[in-house]
Amino acid sequence: MAETVYPVPAEWAQNALIDDARYQEMYRRSVEDPEGFWREEAQRIDWIRPFSAVKQTSFHEADFGISWFTDGTLNLSANCLDRHLAERGDAIAILWEPDDPNKPERRITYRELYEQVCQFANLLKSRGVKRGERVTIYLPMVPEAAVAMLACARIGAIHSIVFAGFSPDALAGRIIDCDSRIVLTSDEGLRGGKKVPLKANVDAALSHCTSVDTVIVLKHTGADVPMTEGRDIDWATGVSGQSSDCPPEEMNAEDPLFILYTSGSTGKPKGVLHTTGGYSVWASMTHEYVFDYRPGQIYWCAADIGWVTGHSYVVYGPLMNGATTVMFEGVPNYPDASRFWQVVDKFDVEIFYGAPTALRALMREGDEWVKKTSRKSLRLLGSVGEPINPEAWEWYHRVVGEDRCPIVDTWWQTETGGIMISPLPGATALKPGSATRPMFGVKPMLVDNEGIEITGAGDGCLVLTDSWPGQMRTVWGDHERFFQTYFSTFKGYYFTGDGCRRDEDGYYWITGRIDDVINVSGHRMGTAEIESALVAHAKVAEAAVVGMPHEIKGQGIYAFVTCNSEVEPDEALRKELVQWVRQEIGPIATPDVIQFAPGLPKTRSGKIMRRILRKIGENDFSNLGDTSTLADPSVVDNLIANRPQPA
Ligand code: ATP
Ligand code: MG
């Protein structure tokens, strides 16, 4: 397949913070002289006590350890708030758009945010919250969620955000895992016009975990919710009378900042722990360079704060950089499929960062929803969460960005704290579907199954050979699991779990998770490639491919296909799709089974859970594994009920 290359637009090459020559020079220095590079780069944040040691890291079992800027001290909330007050106190920090477009937006200045954070921090302190203690946050996408995060960071408490859509059981599991005695929530959440009973979920969760003695409840929808005497506190009442002055706690660089559980795409979610100094440097640096961010620009990352993207690129990265960050409570298709672009027009958003799953869903509804909005303010688009298939990339570029906006396809993980492989808009020519080149300090390597390095162009498992400041430091409560999960498969390297191809230009193409590689008659194939071919068909909206046992071929190809909204799938289409894939990739990729599916099992962050589809492909429904992060469990029952029998 011929590759299209999109060169860096001239205005971007001239005006961006980093052009190609600068990228090359900075990258070279970051890997040849990491001490020097990071000593300088770390000056972007305010340290209370400067660090002397930069990097003490080893991925080897004998002297395993990851520590950055070890003897430095700082406070992240002060880096997000206090230091902007003198010059940017009246600038908007958070621009909040409610679920219902007819309700008023909120504009919160840096000074107002500072005051709210201090007051809330004082409320936490008055409830006895101490440095190092875990605070569970189960809040919708409202500014108070950011206030709560920053207040924890201010007093040195460790936050653990649980996506406000998870079930009481999933919430209870996370409260118990990190042994938290305080939960922050609201009466209800609101998404796409539907109410989510958050307080009721907390009450149900707490019937399993008695460790919790304090629940702070924000009035959001105003629903009448029962309050437990002595345990539950109304947010506004608790805050009123608190001083709006709360000196930031002096934190060590390696003090824990937050715990966040991974999406659960591959198994039981892991409690990823990030620490203060390295994470701050990484989130701030990547936000500035990848989005070419200058203060004053309106920036919108459409992720939920329940995901790491929300942590690093809705709250911490942008606020450290003095940004105006848009926070959106709703969903892309409510009240209709124009909503994202209406919000872009409403706030004159310049930089938009979203997920392929949302883009594919919008693409499926047709171009008119996009075209009836202006979007003239947009300059740059971003993608995160999954490989973006070239078809969706082209649509994003052509229809949403009107061929004017570069797209940064950012590959990273909860574990990495921030963006690891991504184009820089002023430096990198783009290839649809490729995350392109490594960020400063990131040393990717491809290895085969035996751990032998693949040099030059090739395909393999993606590992990282050296530490970067934003790296996770442990799995909460299970340091052994941390080592085993990430450092034992390929000795001496961090194993990402993702497969990857490197092309002749040194560009990286994430091919999906290693577990998703299938072996058909001895040919190894990434499922992403077959999915991409299916999605390139005009009638297909989304596809997920898994392996299934096959007597002759070893593994056969089982494809789940969701069609565009107006299409009625039938036998003729099934045959057409089989032919289509044969033509696009070759006979080796011929699907053995195509199951038309009205919906696919996805995590709440929109990732397809292929491990469940694999079970369906194998005709084994006995043990579907951890499904607590599934968005809609009924999708699975439907797939099982309608599983076609292979011919
Ligand atoms: P778990 O680790 O619990 O199975 P998860 O891996 O889905 O869940 P996240 O940390 O949210 O949890 O997701 C990181 C993964 O998402 C990456 O390892 C990769 O597979 C995928 N990913 C993220 N961004 C991209 C991207 N731009 N291109 C390709 N894949 C991406
Ligand atoms: Mg993962």
Chain centre distance of CA 16: 25
- Is the confidence at residue 495, as pLDDT, over 70? yes
- 388, 439, 607: which to mutate for ligand 1, most atoms within 8 A of CB? 607
Contact between 269 and 262 (Cβ < 8 Å) = yes
- The finding on whether 513 has its CB within 6 A of some atom of ligand 1 is yes
Among the bound ligands, name the one nearest to the CA of residue 413. 1
Residue 568 lies in a domain: yes
Spatial CB neighbours of 603, under 8 Å, sequence gap ≥ 6: 263, 264, 265, 609, 629, 630, 631
Return binding residues for ATP: 385-387, 409-414, 498, 513, 524
CA distance 182 to 185: 10
**Pair of tokens at residue 41:** 């780069």
Spatial CB neighbours of 265, under 8 Å, sequence gap ≥ 6: 513, 603, 607, 608, 609, 610, 611
| CA dihedral sign of residues 119, 122, 123, 129 | positive
pLDDT at 585: 86
Spatial CB neighbours of 11, under 8 Å, sequence gap ≥ 6: none
- The finding on whether 607 has its CB within 6 A of some atom of ligand 1 is yes
pLDDT, average across residues 379-399: 95
CA distance 313 to 370: 24
Among the bound ligands, name the one nearest to the CA of residue 265. 1
pLDDT, average across residues 601-624: 89
pTM: 0.93
What are the DSSP calls for 321-364, one per residue?
Answer: TT-EEEEE-S-TTSSSTTHHHHHHHHHT-SEEEE-HHHHHHHHH
Mark 431-463 as b/e (b = at least 16 C-beta within 10 Å): bbbbbbbbbbbbbbbbbeeeeeebeeeebbbbb
pLDDT at 2: 55
- The finding on whether 339 has its CB within 6 A of some atom of ligand 1 is no
pLDDT at 646: 56
DSSP one-letter code for 44 = G
Number of C-beta neighbours around residue 110 at 10 A: 24
Q: In the chain, pLDDT over 70 holds for what percent of residues?
A: 99
Q: Compute, in angstroms, the gap from residue 116 CA to the centroid of ligand 2.
A: 34
**Pair of tokens at residue 471:** 């790296």
Which ligand 1 atom sits nearest the alpha carbon of residue 262? 3
Q: Closest Cα to atom 23, ligand 1: which residue?
A: 385
**Pair of tokens at residue 248:** 């930031």
What are the DSSP calls for 575-624, one per residue?
Answer: HHHHHHHHHHT-GGG--SEEEE-S---BBTTS-B-HHHHHHHHTT--S--
Q: Strand pairing of 351-354 and 298-301?
A: parallel
CA distance 93 to 111: 9
Residue 525 lies in a domain: yes
Residue 543: give its domain's CATH number. Answer: 3.30.300.30
CA distance 212 to 202: 10
Residue 244: give its domain's CATH number. Answer: 3.40.50.980
Q: Closest Cα to atom 31, ligand 1: which residue?
A: 386
- The finding on whether 414 has its CB within 6 A of some atom of ligand 1 is yes
**pLDDT per position as a tens digit, 549-579:** 998 888 999 999 999 988 999 999 999 999 9
pLDDT, average across residues 151-157: 98
Place of tokens 């070239």: 390
Residue 608 lies in a domain: yes
Which ligand 1 atom sits nearest the alpha carbon of residue 270? 3
Q: Which strand (E) or helix (H) includes residue 94?
A: strand 92-97
**pLDDT per position as a tens digit, 79-109:** 999 999 999 999 999 999 999 999 999 999 9
**pLDDT per position as a tens digit, 271-319:** 999 999 999 999 999 999 999 999 999 999 999 999 999 999 999 999 9
- The finding on whether 187 has its CB within 6 A of some atom of ligand 1 is no
What are the DSSP calls for 403-459, one per residue?
Answer: TTS-EEEEB--GGGSS--B---TTT--B-TT--BSBPTT--EEEE-TT--EE-SSEE
**Phi/psi at 367 (5° precision):** -75, -25
pLDDT at 265: 78
**pLDDT per position as a tens digit, 220-257:** 999 999 999 999 999 999 999 999 999 999 999 999 99
CA distance 477 to 612: 27
Domain that holds residue 529: 521-642
Residue 274 lies in a domain: no
Spatial CB neighbours of 65, under 8 Å, sequence gap ≥ 6: 56, 57, 58
- The finding on whether 409 has its CB within 6 A of some atom of ligand 1 is yes
- The finding on whether 411 has its CB within 6 A of some atom of ligand 1 is yes
Length of the chain: 647
Last residue of a domain, one of 217, 252, 287: 252
Last residue of a domain, one of 202, 218, 252: 252
Q: Closest Cα to atom 28, ligand 1: which residue?
A: 387
Residue 591: asked if its preceding bond is cis (omega within 30°), the reply is no
- The finding on whether 312 has its CB within 6 A of some atom of ligand 1 is no
Nearest of 158, 189, 134, 443 to residue 304 by alpha carbon:
189
Contact between 551 and 585 (Cβ < 8 Å) = no
Last residue of a domain, one of 195, 226, 252: 252
Residue 96 lies in a domain: no
Judged by average pLDDT, the poorest of 201-210, 465-474, 521-530, 537-546 is: 521-530
- 386, 388, 389: which to mutate for ligand 1, most atoms within 8 A of CB? 386
Contact between 500 and 442 (Cβ < 8 Å) = no
- Is the confidence at residue 63, as pLDDT, over 80? yes
Residue 547 lies in a domain: yes
- Is the confidence at residue 34, as pLDDT, over 90? yes
Contact between 362 and 396 (Cβ < 8 Å) = no
**pLDDT per position as a tens digit, 323-359:** 999 999 999 999 999 999 999 999 999 999 999 989 9
Which ligand 1 atom sits nearest the alpha carbon of residue 264? 3
| Structural domains of the chain, count | 2
- The rounded mean pLDDT for the chain is 95
Using pLDDT thresholds of 50, 70 and 90, give the confidence band for residue 199: very high
Nearest of 43, 37, 11, 8 to residue 25 by alpha carbon:
37
Chain centre distance of CA 122: 30
- 265, 476, 527: which to mutate for ligand 1, most atoms within 8 A of CB? 265
- Considering only residues 525 and 432, tell me which one the structure prediction assigns the higher pLDDT: 432
Q: Closest Cα to atom 5, ligand 1: which residue?
A: 263
Which ligand 1 atom sits nearest the alpha carbon of residue 497? 18
**R_g (Cα) of the chain, nearest Å:** 24
**CA of 434: how far to CAs of 360, 476, 510, 527, in Å?**
17, 33, 7, 16
Residue 244 lies in a domain: yes
Return binding residues for Mg(2+): 535, 537, 540
Residue 373 lies in a domain: no
CA distance 255 to 285: 20
Q: Closest Cα to atom 21, ligand 1: which residue?
A: 386
